[in-house]
Amino acid sequence: MQVGERVGVSRSLSRRRFVLSAAACVLAGAARAASKPAAPTGLVYHPDYLLHDTGPYHPERPDRLRAIIAGLETSELMASLLRIEPRPAADRWITTVHTPAYLGWLEAASKQAPVQLDPDTRLAPESLRVAKLAAGGVLAAVDAVVAGRAGNAFAAVRPPGHHALPGRAMGFCLLNNVAIAARYAQQKHGLKRVLIVDWDVHHGNGTQAMFYDDPSVLYFSTHQYPYYPYTGQAKEMGIGVGEGTTVNVPLVAGSGDTEIVEAFRDKLVPAADKFKPDFVLISAGFDAHRDDPLAGLDVTAEGYGSLTRIVIEIARRHAGDRIVSALEGGYRLEALSDSVVAHVGMLMGRN
């Protein structure tokens, strides 16, 4: 072998050792990453959420949260959840979706409480304070997920929010928690495109109205139709530059797991893949459950787990796994508890 050949062979061997060494470092790094525990699922809850007094025999009652917390404890999920402390939402964030006049009206009405705002919605002395704490709890969940302290989060809050309009309370809702969180994610954290998935049995007319002309928020809803609030037809797709970023899938009474999962696969997935969200919010109403007394769909707790899995897949592809889910409806206590356990268990990767 000539000197030149020996030098060439030596260089070749050196390059091979370098490549193998680099590959070993990459594999070792991957192994360390795989062994590193994922950030836990977060839980927002505060006992003050029980202080919103809707009156006797009202379906949106404090026992809903008691049932959820009991279910998480009985299922042994609670011990693995990261507790996220809520704070009251500042007015500056509330008024990104609600008018200042409406917020001022709520403040004034609170001094006269209890006040019946509509046939379904009651403002008690503590209600506005609790509503701000509920909205702020969802914002705290967004902060925790964006910071990486939580991998995703579920906010067990009340009052719910998705019927609240920019200038009006409606359908048990005072402040639109998820809509406020969408604007907060955009303006506080610079996450430009937000997907809102609403699987409550009632159409989220308030959320739709807030983003109907906004191409930066994709609003997707499955809901029973025709049914309260009598909005959410498939032809409602947004207006102006927002056309196409509202997707409604009305379901007839009796629709169950098969139909709603099909809607998510056939309608949500392609819309989300085209939109490519930076963050995902869920308006998690569990009143499409077959045992819920306020509607007529036939979804099961296992069905909610399947919907959650689909949303997780979307968030993994586009949003860095970032999901915050906030409680909306669900009024049969056992069904609500079972559904939340299935949902949170899937967020935790337990199912």
User: What residues are annotated to the active site?
Assistant: 163
- Residue burial 212-247, b: 16+ Cβ < 10 Å; e: rest: bebebbbbbbbbbbebbbebbeeebebeeebeebbb
Q: For residue 187, how many other CB atoms are within 10 A of its CB?
A: 12
Q: How many CA atoms lie within 13 A of 342 on its CB side?
A: 20
Residue 240 one-letter amino acid:
G
Residue 132 CA to residue 122 CA, distance in Å, equals 15
| Residue for token pair 């009652």 | 61
What token pair was written down for 7? 């030098």
How far is residue 48 from each of residues 61, 85, 126, 129, 327, measured CA to CA in Å? Answer: 13, 12, 9, 9, 15
Task: Give the 3-state DSSP-derived string for 43-93, with helices as H, strands as E and coil as C.
Answer: EECCHHHHHCCCCCCCCCCCHHHHHHHHHHHHCCCHHHCEEECCCCCCHHH
Where does residue 30 rank: exposed (0-12), middle (13-18), buried (19+ CB within 10 A)? Answer: exposed
